Chain A
Amino acid sequence: MNAITNLSPDLSRRNFLGVSGVFVLGACLPSCARTPAPPVATEPFVPNLFLALEPDGTVHVTAHRSEMGQGIRTALAQVVADELDADWSRVVVDQADGDAKYGDQNTDGSRSILLNYERLRTAGAAARMMLRQAAAQHWGVGVDEVEATNHEVIHAGSGQRLGYGDLAGIAATLPVPEDPPRKSEAEHRYIGKHAVHVDAADIVRGKGTYGADFLMPNMATAVVVRCPWLGGGVKNILNKPNTAPGLLAIEILDPSASAGPVFNPVGGVAVVADDTYTAMRIARDLEIEWADSPNQTFSSDALQEELRKALTQPGTPVPNAEKGDVDAVFAEGMTELSATYETPFLAHAPMEPPVAIADVSGGMCVVHGPFQDPQSARGLVAAWLGYEPENVTVTPTLLGGAFGRKSKPDFGLEAVELSKRLGRPIRVQWSREDDIRHDYFHASSAQYHRAAIDERGHPKAWLERTAFPSITTVFDGGATMPADWELEMGFSNLPYTVENQRMEFAGLRPGVRIGWMRSVCNIFHAFSANVFADEMAAAAGRDPIEHRLEILPASGVLKVPGMQPPEGHGQDVGRLRHVIERVRALSEWDRPRPEGTGLGFAVHHSFRSYVAVVLEASVANGTPTVSNAYVVLDCGTYVNADTCVAQMEGAVVFGLSLALLGKIDMADGVVAQSNFHDYPLLRISEAPATSVELVPAQGRLPAGVGEPGVPPVAPALVNALFAATGTRHRSLPIKVA
């Protein structure tokens, strides 16, 4: 069921059309004979990949991106339905399989709307145009004389009207226009408005289908015990049971070599049983001897030490980033500031642990599960089996959270391999412990900043260094260094005005798999840069927001070294300044807070959007408390206003979880944490009241929403705690002594 509310329906226009229709009809009777309705079509009208109109008027919108809480199934449908001018209550959303015909389906990088907005508008607008043409043809009138609105085509001249479904048959015979007229922003009735998510009514009734909820006949469930260190194979099962009630098979899965190939399963012992609990119970009791691997000596503490060490010497310079002469300014004896910032490994920990169902039979393979990129999963499954992609179907279920984890379909490949071996549908269910210990971890990192500042806290020279294990280490067995696109996440595109600047980076190979987690490298780069800027302001006794506005350029699109943004998406300093000004107002920045309560500010441009955050925090009994969060988002043109607000609210919680609680440690190649008791997430009592302001679209290009809210949160908290207590925390998670 799809409900949309608070849409401020265009009642005046609808009434006008209704009244004028009746009036004209009355005026021309009896000379205007009514044309009989066209015969009912036998097939749906399918003008393109994203839209199908049933003869009964039901509109199917195909969502080719995965739903993981960002509301994309709803937003994609809003775009199509708006340009179609459909009645929202007659729109249903179908989920697409992974298929190259849709183009990019990789639901990450906060770019579903950025990539598809115009394309889906065109899809809806083309169908609307064709329905008008169909009606005009049927009535024998000019297409300019008919209007399509709210699921009907109306000829005002004769008062005749036909529902969209009535026109499906004729419309299907017409050529699809390539460049149909599209609505102006003012004409939008769903885009930019509030819509209840299309899956909301199912979710609250327990009817949403997530990975583990998809069932196949004759399905068995597997639980895999994986080697505690990456790359270790099974040497021996010491207590392998021959039989047990409900036990179907025990299968050994070989590990992929070291950290690659990219998304192959890590291997282990699979216990296949009639039901999940039986598989879990038998798996829990297995005693397994594991083979050695080079990753067995990996220590996150040792890696962190290496990262810190790397920052003490010159790194690899970002190409074309050097400005002026940093060393000469540092030799001048101005006031200097330097600091090192550190952030730990993190696990994604979506509430739904990885799970997938596969059925390999008769030369075909069908996979269902929470996949962020069903298309690449399809290719990987096909390659795994040696099948043509045409013989593989990968269909996303709802994703019970993902945050980047479910871009990596290793869990799907486990199900595929087991189904191939056992000749029946297999569900592979990960436990929470599996999820925490065998993640593609968000990289730990360290940054070094050094600046020479004047009496106003303005930097005259700025050296920044970053060091972290790159995501590319998963793709390339020889890679050590961060990629330009990782540096472009808040490091090489630092927006501040400084005449003498140098940017250097370093990397290391880790003994675990690195992955992208919501906001990726922006998390640590926004953290260090925003805290360091706050330290400059503090060193000069300046107001942090006033100071920040001063050290930003006045206006214009930034010229940055390193990787360049896509066309039209350069960092616009005017928009950055605007979100800062707005968050200053929203938070009532100048209003005095109680003694012991501090305000902290941070701003960051990421995923082509602009977010400024102010947090209000205090410390009591050694525990930081965040009482209020204020967020201003400029994401250009947005589709579902309420989703944007919700994503900012969620980003505050996600950001506070990593600022206050999140840390994954590895020793001897083994992850120390395992579940929410030792990898805690923020709970409701710790969630601040949150106010969100959305900058109006103003016809700008659509940009990211799911990720850009997270990066400013942790630095805003550090800056707030400094304002509250005078103590500067430079490592995450924050530990208040």
Chain B
Amino acid sequence: MALKLNVNGRDVEADVAPDTPLLWVLRDHLGLTGTKFGCGGAYCGACTVHVNGSPVRSCQLPVSGATDAPITTIEALEAAHPELLDVWVKNNVAQCGYCQSGQLMSAAALLEGNASPTDADIDAAMAGNLCRCGTYVRIRAAIHEAAAQRTGGNAS
């Protein structure tokens, strides 16, 4: 059965079983491989996308639960958050980079709701995103810097 989705501003169809996790629809059926498979259990956050603007672990969301809401993936993050991508690159935040799609999606969602997050805000919002390379201190710094850019100030 073809399910209708709205992904990155485009209406698309996917002929999959309704219980298929959104992650695998994005990756295997829509060719959007920027969203990563890390654990399949919502423990690691590598698969984080936005559904209706909120960060969601797409490995645990059946695609049938995402048919009525706009979905944004890492491939479309730049349009709304160029500053996040810039600071991430400039500061060499990524090491292997595999978790960074998820990190960026969680960071973007944080900044949408909180223009000037504190360290504690960042820790809370990013708690679901593991990084085995250990890029956490740079993620924290980069979010502060991006927040400052968005609010027109300078990073501390």
A contacts, CB < 8 Å to B: 3, 5, 67-71, 196-197, 199-201, 203-210, 212-213, 215, 221, 245, 275-277, 280, 349-353, 398-403, 429, 431-433, 642-643, 646-647, 649-654, 675-677, 681-685, 687-690
A422 to B6, CA, bound (A): 36
Using Cβ atoms and an 8 Å threshold, which residues of chain A touch B100? 203-204
Chain A proximity mask over B111-149: 1 for CB below 8 Å, otherwise 0: 000000000001110110111111111111000000000
Expressed in whole angstroms, the minimum distance between the Cβ of A571 and any Cβ of chain B is 26
Using Cβ atoms and an 8 Å threshold, which residues of chain A touch B136? 653, 682-684, 687
Chain A proximity mask over B16-42: 1 for CB below 8 Å, otherwise 0: 110011001001110011111111110
Expressed in whole angstroms, the minimum distance between the Cβ of B33 and any Cβ of chain A is 4
Main secondary structure of the interface of B (DSSP, over half): loop
B123 engages A685 (CB within 8 Å): yes
B contacts, CB < 8 Å to A: 16-17, 20-21, 24, 27-29, 32-41, 43-44, 46, 73-75, 77-78, 84-85, 88-90, 92, 94-101, 104, 122-124, 126-127, 129-140
Q: A-B pairs with CB below 8 Å: how many?
A: 185
Using Cβ atoms and an 8 Å threshold, which residues of chain A touch B90? 5, 196
Which of B17, B29, B97 sits near A199, CB closer than 8 Å?
B97
Given A681-B132, A682-B134: A205 and B85 interface contact (C-beta under 8 Å): yes
A204 to B81, CA, bound (A): 11
A654 engages B122 (CB within 8 Å): no
Using Cβ atoms and an 8 Å threshold, which residues of chain A touch B27? 212, 276
Expressed in whole angstroms, the minimum distance between the Cβ of B156 and any Cβ of chain A is 14
Residue of B nearest to A74 (CB): B92
Using Cβ atoms and an 8 Å threshold, which residues of chain B touch A398? 96-98
A646 engages B37 (CB within 8 Å): no
B137 engages A689 (CB within 8 Å): yes
Given A196-B89, A205-B34, A206-B32: A649 and B41 interface contact (C-beta under 8 Å): no
A400 engages B134 (CB within 8 Å): no
Given A205-B34, A206-B34, A684-B140: A432 and B39 interface contact (C-beta under 8 Å): yes
**Given pairs A277-B20, A653-B133, A689-B137, 14 additional interface contacts (CB within 8 A):** A196-B89, A197-B94, A200-B92, A204-B74, A204-B88, A212-B27, A275-B29, A351-B96, A351-B132, A398-B97, A402-B96, A432-B41, A646-B135, A650-B134
Using Cβ atoms and an 8 Å threshold, which residues of chain A touch B39? 432, 675-676
Main secondary structure of the interface of A (DSSP, over half): loop
Given A204-B104, A351-B130, A646-B138: A400 and B98 interface contact (C-beta under 8 Å): yes
- 19 intermolecular pairs with C-beta atoms under 8 Å apart: A201-B89, A204-B74, A204-B85, A205-B75, A206-B34, A206-B77, A206-B101, A210-B36, A215-B33, A275-B24, A277-B20, A277-B24, A351-B44, A647-B95, A652-B134, A684-B126, A684-B139, A685-B127, A688-B137
Expressed in whole angstroms, the minimum distance between the Cβ of B126 and any Cβ of chain A is 5
In the complex, which of the residues A221, A351, A685 has the most CB atoms of chain B within 10 Å of its own CB atom?
A: A351
Which of A276, A643, A688 sits near B92, CB closer than 8 Å?
A643
Expressed in whole angstroms, the minimum distance between the Cβ of A630 and any Cβ of chain B is 13
Using Cβ atoms and an 8 Å threshold, which residues of chain A touch B44? 351, 432, 676
Residue of A nearest to B34 (CB): A206
A431 to B43, CA, bound (A): 13
A726 to B132, CA, bound (A): 31
